[in-house]
A and B are shown apart, each in its own frame.
Chain A
Amino acid sequence: MRAVVAIAVNVFRESVRDKVLYNLVLFAVVMIGASYLIGQLTAGQDVKIIKDLGLAAISVFGLFIAVFIGIGLVSKEVDRRSIYSLLAKPIHRPQFVLGKYCGLTLTLAVNVAVMAAALYAVLFYMSWGVSATTAQSWDAPALDPALLEAVALIFVELMLVTAIALFFSTFSTPMLSAAFTFGLFIVGHFSSDLRNFQDAVDSPAAARVARGLYWVLPNLAQFDIKADVVHGQPVPVGYMAVTVGYAACYIAMLLVISMFVFARRDFK
């Protein structure tokens, strides 16, 4: 366990050294700039649009961090040949994979938390001094705590994407890993099309294959509750629990396979 923590902390430090946290500055600039511009453009919908934009930005920034750091977690160590000195220490290969995953998850957690705080700060600024009539016309209050539900599921989705990127990085090149991960991210958001494939094709075999893929591929669409939260629609606790449980199982499965593949990999 200590080895896993040490590797995780090291990954976090490395990402800080790699100036990954600079994206927070970019996020802040985007949000502050948008809050000013959107206030001029949106005819009273500035709070709704800031929420949409903020949640989308958290998701996009997090996705880029998860993919571009995730795909390099293993390959960088191999390219630098630092993997040899690492594995010569009393560290098991599964611990190495798990530590890398936890480190990137920690980086993402810090990023998402700071971005969420910045989003709330911008929303606070936008709602300051707004009349009661205007506030009543919003679907949900500006500083709605339910936004955290959307942020939480974005974070869980990013954890899953990180596991996918790490999985590919254990046996593939960074370029291919990035392509596969982005591919799965896109497919994961259109999984409902796979479920309804039989409506679009005549072939029962193709429909069965699509149905199988629907169950096997990661269903990322279920993590997207941004629209519900922004419109003040309640998200049941049961939905959150089942979705997080699904992610936990899927992440665990990917990590087990990643550990297995990495354990069998020959670095000679």
Chain B
Amino acid sequence: MSRAIGIIVVALSLLACAVQLQATRERLFPPSAGDADAMYLRSAETLRRLSGAYTVLAADGYWIRALQYYGGTKQRLQAQTWVPEPPPMLAVPTSDDFSLLYPMLDLATSLDPRFTIAYRFGAVFLAEAYPRGAGRPDLAVALLEKGVRAQPDKWEYMEDIGFVHYWYVHNYRAAAGWFQKAGEVPGAPWWLRSLAATTLAQGGDRQSSRVMWEAIRQSAAIDWLRQDAERRLLQLKALDDIDNLQQGVDAFVRTAGHPPADWLTLVRARMVAGIPLDPTRQPYELTAQGRVRLAASSPLAPLPEEPRQIGAPEAPPH
């Protein structure tokens, strides 16, 4: 008995030594971040053959890898102070920080062509503005179109393609076309057809954006997507607030002939009830030029480049 305990103690000591040495090695020679992100196999056909009867499990593995890769890259980028602000249009060329995201999602959906969540969330990850996402709405559309080819009756993919065109690319004709296609699929919600008509006639408008984000919020199966949709809805609310406040400020400028010095000036002039707060209870900022904007420290900052009505003038930066 005592001999067995001795052996266990020796074994545990040796394991502790091995763990300590590994920790020392990692401290002295840290593994490079690129090592973990390597993708050795990119051919879905090869992977399908290697995984045999377990292709859907392999698809799960690539989906988990894509999530880890996306989350890890996003965290790393947000931790860097030099990260640029999101570009005004996400279709502009972006960094290759998320370069493996599409290949991973492509593999996951090739191994399991009915992997709904990989198409829908994957498209969000790809379309989101850099550095929150890859800033590649073109790849998001490609991924979703692949989903439509695999499941032609899946109106959700068509709705998502329309949404990418609407929100990220601001291509309203394409967006309206996809909303219309989605609306024609049996079982699709009724409002898709009216959304198609509105988008085609007017281009972007805040109410349509609100309808889409609300639909995403209600159907979101995971907290992350629901919270993102809630944040987008709050941003739209902030945009409404800013428009209303700007009208008040403009009225003051017309009357006084100069911009107000601060919010208190407007409060004293009874043009606002108090210092206006955004939906996260942060005060809005008033610039010396009389422009209302979101505080940089607000959790809602930066506000999105909002889809605009056809023919509407360029919106000032918020």
Contacts and interface: CB of A to CB of B under 8 A. Distances in A.
Which of B52, B56, B222 gathers most chain A CB within 10 Å?
B56
B112 interface: yes
Interface stretch (A163-171, A194-202, A221-229, A241-249): A221-229
A205 interface: no
A52 B63 CA distance: 13
A202 B145 CA distance: 35
Contacts of B59: 52
A43 B68 contact: no
Contacts of B116: 139
Contact of A220 (B53, B57, B114): B53
B75 to A, nearest CB: 15
Contact of A52 (B56, B67, B220, B222): B56
A233 B219 CA distance: 21
B49 interface: yes
B68 A41 contact: yes
A139 B114 contact: yes
A134 interface: yes
Interface in B39-97: 49, 52-57, 59-60, 63-64, 67-68
A133 B60 contact: no
Interface string B94-128: 00000000000000000010101100010000000
A42 to B, nearest CB: 6
A56 interface: yes
A45 interface: yes
B56 A227 contact: yes
Interface residues of A, number: 30
Given A43-B67, A56-B57, A227 B117 contact: no
A134 B221 contact: yes
Which of A38, A44, A53, A134 gathers most chain B CB within 10 Å?
A44
Contacts of B68: 41
Contact of B221 (A133, A221, A224): A133
B227 interface: no
A221 B53 contact: yes
A13 to B, nearest CB: 30
Interface string A119-161: 0000000000000011011110000000000000000000000
Contacts of B55: 227
A92 interface: no
Given A41-B64, A227-B112, A56 B219 contact: no
Nearest to A227: B56
Nearest to B114: A231
Contacts of B54: 56, 59-60
Contacts of A230: 56
A136 B60 CA distance: 20
Interface string A47-74: 0110011001001100000000000000
Contact of A133 (B56, B63, B64, B218): B218
A38 to B, nearest CB: 8
B67 A41 contact: yes
B206 to A, nearest CB: 25
Nearest to B226: A133
B57 A43 contact: no
B121 A53 contact: no
A224 B54 CA distance: 9
A231 B113 CA distance: 10
B67 A44 contact: no
A45 B49 contact: no
B57 A53 contact: yes
B53 A42 contact: no
A52 B57 contact: yes
Contacts of B221: 44, 133-134, 136-138
A78 to B, nearest CB: 32
Given A133-B219, A189-B52, A231-B114, A45 B63 contact: yes
A36 interface: no
B53 A43 contact: no
Given A43-B117, A133-B218, A53 B53 contact: no
Contacts of B114: 139, 227, 231, 233
Contact of A224 (B53, B63, B220): B53
29 contacts: A41-B67, A41-B68, A42-B60, A42-B64, A43-B117, A43-B224, A44-B222, A45-B60, A45-B63, A52-B57, A52-B59, A53-B60, A56-B53, A56-B57, A59-B53, A59-B54, A133-B221, A137-B117, A137-B221, A186-B52, A189-B52, A190-B52, A220-B53, A221-B53, A226-B53, A226-B56, A227-B55, A227-B114, A231-B114
Q: Report, nearest first, the 7 A-B pairs whose CB atoms are least far apart.
A: A137-B221, A44-B222, A44-B221, A56-B57, A49-B60, A231-B114, A227-B56
Interface of A: 38, 41-45, 48-49, 52-53, 56, 59-60, 133-134, 136-139, 186, 189-190, 220-221, 224, 226-227, 230-231, 233
Given A60-B54, A139-B116, A233-B114, 16 more contacts: A41-B64, A41-B67, A42-B60, A44-B117, A45-B117, A52-B56, A52-B59, A133-B219, A133-B220, A189-B53, A190-B52, A221-B53, A224-B53, A227-B112, A227-B114, A231-B114
